[in-house]
Amino acid sequence: MPRHQDLKRVLIIGSGPIVIGQACEFDYSGTQACKALMKEGLEVILVNSNPATIMTDPEIATRVYVEPLKVPFIEKIIEKEKPNAIIPTLGGQTALNLALELNAKGILKKHQVKLLGADPHVIEAAEDREKFRNILDKVGAKYPKSILVRTFEQGMRASEELGFPLILRPNYTLGGGGGGIAYSMDEYKRMIANALHESPTSEVLVEESILGWKEFELEVMRDYSGTFVVICTIENFDPCGVHTGDSITVAPQQTLSDREYQAMRDEACKILNEVGVQTGGANVQFAVHPTTGERLVIEMNPRVSRSSALASKATGFPIAKIAALLAIGYRLDELKNDITKVTPTCYEPALDYVVTKIPRFAFEKFPGSKDLLTTQMKSVGEAMAIGRTLQESMMKAVLSLEFHPEGFPEINYQVEKVSYANSQRLFHIYQALRDGKTVEELNELTQIHPYFLEKLEEMVQFEKELEKLALDHVTLLRAKRLGFSDALIARIKKIKPTDVQKLRDQLSVQPRFQQVDTCAGEFASETPYFYSSYWPTFSPAIKFNQPAVVIGSGPNRIGQGIEFDYGCVRGVKALQKQGHQVVMINSNPETVSTDYDTSDVLFFEPLTTEHLHEVMKWVGAKGFVAQLGGQTPINLAHNLVSRGYKLLGSSLETIDLAEDRGLFSQICKELKFQIPQSAMVSTLSQAIEMAAGIGYPIICRPSYVLGGRRMEVIESEEELVSYFERHGEAISADRPCLMDQFLEGALEVDVDLVRGEDWLVIGGVVEHIEAAGVHSGDSMGVLPPQRLKDETCQKIEYLSSELAHRMKVIGHLNLQLAVKNDIVYILEANPRSSRSVPFVAKATQIPLIDLGIAAMLGVRKDQIHPEKFNWRKAPCVSVKGVVFPFKKFSEADSILGPEMKSTGESMGRGQDYSEALMKAMLSSHMQFHPKGEVFFSLRDKDKTMMLDIAKTLKSMGYTISATGGTAKFFNDQGIETLSLRKVHEGRPHCVDHIRSGQVSFVFNTTRGRKSIEASFDIRRACTDLAIPCLTESDSVEAFVLALKNARKGEIEVTPLAKMVEL
């Protein structure tokens, strides 16, 4: 049957800001779905609060709303747009929960909106663990013994019955939030209280442990006629106990026999039918006992998920796109396989290669947090690689993490890094094998299936053989077939990596390129989606047309995420519009850029010089774009240029000018621009000496870092000593430490601009809400600026343009500036598209990426008409909000500083600043409690300023509490304030008070390592209890402004206008 004819307009809900457990895979799924539905002639209304997404580009849907994903706003959109239906299965748990809420509140019924792809009882059946267990009983599936707990006391009884270790799974949370494994009663008591709090329904499933069992996931689809297909089987390298999002996984499954696999497949089908999934994608997770083969069901998600993005990339089957088409009434056999173009979509992909996914973590960003992996997801990104064998794909995936060109460098093996699951475990296992540990020993320590460990052992054994062997054709080919990088071979043979490359060229040991074709070669396929391998004897004969290569941004990490994928995807389209064939190279399976639909030719490859070189050689690249994928391609530009490839846009000299602090400050001096006092030092004694000249406070950071890694504000010599103690290993003569004067209280701004040969467009000036000292990625921002004087703003534009001209930028330039006492200081220049570009483009309707591409291609002023692009004409006020992952890192501090910690951003658009703030903060999950108590703990200098805030809040009906000093000050000024003890003053103290649930908001400003440590418990309590906690006086002001707006209860929504045409 063709699609439902009564459907004209469909609403798609996105997944909001990137958080751990819900990242850009939902941009991929939503964008795919929008494209497919638009092609079907439907009007698609999209809502998402995340401006960094491709899906919120106005071109993607009929109308795009960047609004908070909260019921009142969605209802307003429904009233305005009157859609016939909502597809809630493409925006992760956020969209699914929102759909449930809309349904429960009768809003869908009231406006006659259908839910497509999943109805409420399906969502509940899969999400509500008790209902789900009943379903499993009905189909005869087994599951771990468990007890549903609603109170602490029930929790205690459950632990007696089941015994330790215990797994806690709160209902209705994403990424296993609030869950974990408890090994002892002490641990368990703390965790159960937290888990009950985390679950929106206060329900926690306490489960017997299946630690050490093999873990599998089936990605499946079903259409309304009941046709069921398994798109991909995924097996976890890490056995049960580690969240699947944090596990290394391989596809297809490797250790199940046909009998075992088919039984699992049958069970998945029965579960889907019984849960009542009518159409769409879903996944079912299983545990299998390593020796008895006993099979248990872990969970099932009735929606497109992170792993379905992975499965789509791994197999070439576009799950989200097909899910959208099934939702509007198609059957699988009515749709064509995109890749082969001749066979139908109802098939199960056959793979003649192996796919490995390795997560990327950010524990180093959260000092104090333990690098331990549990059932709660903590990874911030992932890399995927394809090889003909598990070894080749595993090694490529390791290289894709961009840690080390050797993949597995020599490290110091630590047994606890093997026996406890952690982010470095794979590397320590590999090292353990080098150090002579056996597969049996490692299996004993890790319960990882020996099948996987043996594969690693073979690689290690060959490393040893290689030391003795001559590098002839046979040996080199064997090494490359194991996935060894040139750098690893070079290290083992004690030669240079470039020599290995030369040798490979001489002996013609070259990778071949193979197609991902969904069918293991059974049918001819046209789709140009490739991976490299040293196993094949040929590459398909393809004629390339001197393509332009866009290098992606690799696995998401804090500081380099979806914003850069936005740039890549938009850049690909812009290049195509200018008539170029475009090759995309990336290693991140969550992205839109790695959709084979995005570019003309897609390569799934590690972003290393070696792999990029081989691809670019094969396709005969005309040139490459390094400005769009963040720091990764910028770091590779030198090596690629030296191998003879043309860098499009800004030259290497321009890049060096920006990256080399010495050169950069020299230019600034030439141009008579102010820069903060600074120095470069490589030892502590040098540092102490230079600090005297600069004067405290000082910002310290090692050079060439991204996202402010190891960057700290240093207030005193004592702290400087401590800084060198902690970070000394990252500082040396060739990697000096940068010391910059810290402009206390300065206003920071971001400028994004594009420069062509003879033209320049300022994309926008974003004013940070927090003062200098908070990393730009972590501070909220507003466009147009609200506090900046107009003349200062003009000066900023002038300075930025001058700098761009002087640096001979062609393409993007991002500048970070600070304003203090009307003096503009230049802090940093990035000769590339930045994190703020998508936000700026959406706030101003200026297609910045398209302009950047035009600049790189040499388009002249008379074709561009730069005057068309005026950021001051932005139709409304836009505020960028930020989202942090502190909740996932139980020991981490939520205080903001120069090191970036946020994972995602939101955008609030309003007629005025307060409305935009309110929306941005709502989207960042701030809750505006209409009444209650506000707790202050302030450093001295903020007290006077906060007095007015306290007065305002009092007049709004809130009560005030504060720590001793602040309370006395407020009381003295006539504001009735409850005085609470600081933590060291004994109990009950302010943290007890906060944890008792009596406080609605916390304002806690502090500076200096000691005071920060002393007030840590306050902020941690807020993180645990989801109480808004603001740590900067400026953000407190903004918050109160937003709070006032929220209390008005007026809700307006407006769609994004189209971008200005190039």
Partner 1 sequence: MNGYLVLETGEIYEGRWQGGQARAGEVVFNTSQTGYEEIATDPSYFSQIVVMTSPMQGNYGVDQSVWESQKMWIEGFICLEIQKTKRDESWLHKLTENKIPLVSEMDTRAITLRLRGGGTPWGALVPAKTSQEAASLAKDLINEKKKIEKDWVYLASRHSLERRTGSCPQGPRVAVLDFGSKENILRELMSRCSEVLIYPSRTSVSQLLEHKPDGIMLTNGPGNPEDVQVAAGTVRELLGKIPIFGICMGHQILSIALGAKTYKLKFGHRGANHPIRDDLLGKVYMSSQNHGYAVDPQTLPPEVCVTHVNLNDQTVAGIYSEKKNCLGIQYHPESCPGPHEAGLLFDYFIEKMITKGKSS
Least distance CB 873 / partner 1 (angstroms):
54
> Distance between CA 362 and CA 379 in Å, rounded?
7
User: What kind and span of H or E run contains 299?
Assistant: strand 295-301
* 484 binding partner 1? (CB under 8 A): no
Lateral strand order in the sheet of 977-980 = 977-980, 959-963, 933-937, 999-1004, 1029-1030
Closer of 403 and 451 to partner 1 (Cβ): 451
**CB nearer partner 1, residue 254 or residue 424:** 254
**Interacting stretch for partner 1, rule CB under 8 A, among 343-351, 754-762, 770-778, 911-919?**
343-351
Residue type, 573: K
The answer to whether 439 contacts partner 1 (rule: CB under 8 A) is yes
When asked if residue 222 is in the footprint of partner 1 (CB under 8 A), the reply is: no
Residue type, position 787, single letter:
R
Q: Which of 420, 451, 673, 928 is close enough to bind partner 1 by CB under 8 A?
A: 451
Choice from 202, 273, 343, 581 touching partner 1 (CB under 8 A): 343
Q: With contacts defined by CB under 8 A, name the span among 22-30, 226-234, 931-939, 979-987 that binds partner 1.
A: 226-234
Tell me which DSSP letter residue 869 carries.
Answer: -
Alpha-helical runs (H) found in 383-537: 390-400, 416-419, 425-434, 439-446, 450-468, 473-481, 486-493, 497-506
Of 168 and 390, CB closest to partner 1: 390
Phi and psi angles of residue 290, each rounded to the nearest 5 degrees, phi first: -65, -25
* Sole window of 155-163, 384-392, 702-710, 1013-1021 interacting with partner 1 (rule: CB under 8 A): 384-392
Question: Min. distance of Cβ 334 from partner 1 in angstroms?
Answer: 10
If one asks whether residue 319 binds partner 1 (CB under 8 A), the answer comes out as: no
10 Å Cβ neighbour count for 472?
A: 11
In the set 349, 483, 697, 838, which binds partner 1 (CB under 8 A)?
349
**Omega before 165 within 30 of 0, i.e. cis:** yes
Give the nearer residue to partner 1 in terms of CB position, either 239 or 349.
349
Q: Is 333 in the site for partner 1 (CB under 8 A)?
A: yes
Smallest separation, CB 521 to partner 1 (Å): 4
> Which CB atom, from 351 or from 690, has the smaller least distance to partner 1?
351
What's the min distance (Å) between Cβ of 252 and partner 1?
A: 5
Which residue type, as a one-letter code, is found at position 766?
V
For strand 747-756 and strand 737-741, is the pairing parallel, antiparallel, or unpaired?
unpaired
Q: For residue 87, with 0-12 CB atoms within 10 Å meaning exposed, 13-18 middle and 19 or more buried, which class applies?
A: buried
The CA distance from 754 to 812, in Å, is 5
Kindly state whether residue 225 participates in binding partner 1, applying the rule CB under 8 A: yes
For residue 237, the minimal CB distance to partner 1 (Å) is 14
Nearer to partner 1, 461 or 682 (CB): 461
Q: How many CB atoms lie within 10 A of CB 200?
A: 12
Contact status: 437 vs partner 1 (CB under 8 A): no
Cα–Cα distance, 204 to 149 (Å, whole number): 5
**Interaction between residue 354 and partner 1 (CB under 8 A):** yes
Q: In angstroms, what is the minimal distance from the CB of 37 to partner 1?
A: 23
Q: Which stretch binds partner 1 (CB under 8 A): 2-10, 449-457, 826-834, 1030-1038?
A: 449-457
Nearer to partner 1, 353 or 366 (CB): 353
Binding of partner 1 by 2 (CB under 8 A): no
Listed in sequence order, the residues at least 6 apart from 766 whose beta carbon sits closer than 8 Å to its beta carbon are: 749, 750, 751, 752, 781, 782, 783, 785, 836, 839, 840, 880
Minimum separation from the CB atom of position 228 to partner 1 (A): 7
Q: Whole-angstrom Cα distance, residue 965 to residue 489?
A: 63
Q: At what angle do helices 306-315 and 25-39 cross, to 10 degrees?
A: 70
x-or-dash pattern for partner 1, window 387-406, by CB under 8 A? Answer: -xxx----------------
Residue 190: what residue type?
R
**Three-class DSSP category at 1052:** coil
The least distance separating partner 1 from the CB of residue 232, rounded to whole angstroms, comes to: 10
CA distance 407 to 611: 13
Segment 495 to 524, residues that bind partner 1, using CB under 8 A: 514, 519-524
Which residue in the set 229, 300, 362, 895 belongs to the binding site for partner 1 (CB under 8 A)? 229
Choose which of 35, 169, 214, 331 interacts with partner 1 (CB under 8 A): 331
Least CB distance to partner 1 at residue 342 (A): 8
Residues between 524 and 553 with contacts to partner 1, criterion CB under 8 A: 524, 535-538
Asked whether position 474 contacts partner 1 by CB under 8 A, the answer is: no
As a whole number of angstroms, the distance between CA 981 and CA 975 comes to: 18
Judged by CB, which is closer to partner 1: 443, or 890?
443
Nearer to partner 1, 331 or 611 (CB): 331
69 and 47 Cβ atoms separated by less than 8 Å: yes
Nearer residue to partner 1 within complex by CB, 24 or 390: 390
Stretch that binds partner 1, among 340-348, 416-424, 558-566, 977-985 (CB under 8 A): 340-348
Minimum distance between the CB of residue 532 and partner 1, rounded to whole angstroms? Answer: 14
* CB 475, min distance to partner 1, A: 15
Spacing of C-alpha 57 from chain mean position: 19
Please choose, out of 224-232, 306-314, 981-989, 1008-1016, the segment that lies near partner 1 by the rule CB under 8 A. 224-232
Task: Write the interaction track for partner 1 spanning residues 239-278; mark x where CB under 8 A is met and - where it is not.
Answer: -------------xxxxxxxxxxx--xx------------
Binding test (CB under 8 A) with partner 1, winner from 96, 220, 351, 896: 351
Report the nearest approach of partner 1 to the CB of residue 142 (Å): 19
**Binding status of residue 187 toward partner 1 by CB under 8 A:** no
Nearest alpha carbon to residue 287 among 228, 375, 160: 375
Q: How many residues bind partner 1 (CB under 8 A)?
A: 52
Of 737, 734, 735, 694, whose CA–CA distance to 717 is shortest?
A: 694
User: Considering only 59-67, 220-228, 633-641, 844-852, which stretch makes contact with partner 1 by CB under 8 A?
Assistant: 220-228
User: 584 vs 289, 580, 587, 814, CA distance in Å?
Assistant: 41, 12, 10, 23
Of 513 and 723, which has the nearer Cβ to partner 1? 513
- Cα separation, 130 vs 1046, whole angstroms: 37
Stretch that binds partner 1, among 7-15, 27-35, 227-235, 725-733 (CB under 8 A): 227-235
Q: Three-state SS across 180-208?
A: EEECCHHHHHHHHHHHHHHCCCCCEEEEE
Smallest gap from residue 248 Cβ to partner 1 (A): 17
- Dist. CA 225–CA 465, nearest whole Å: 57
* DSSP per-residue letters across 625-667: E-SSSTHHHHHHHHHHHHTTPPEESS-HHHHHHHH-HHHHHHH
Residue 463 or 915: the one with the smaller Cβ distance to partner 1 is 463
Least gap, CB of 595 to partner 1 (angstroms): 23
Amino acid letter for position 998: Q
Q: What is the DSSP string of 976-1012?
A: -EEEEB-GGG-SSBHHHHHHTT-EEEEEE---SHHHH
Of 210, 227, 228, the C-alpha closest to 219 is 228
Of 263 and 1060, CB closest to partner 1: 263
* First CA to last CA distance, the chain: 42
Q: Which stretch binds partner 1 (CB under 8 A): 130-138, 141-149, 349-357, 691-699?
A: 349-357
Q: Give me the residues that bind partner 1 (CB under 8 A), please.
A: 225-229, 233, 252-262, 265-266, 331-333, 343-344, 346-354, 388-390, 439, 450-451, 454, 458, 514, 519-524, 535-538
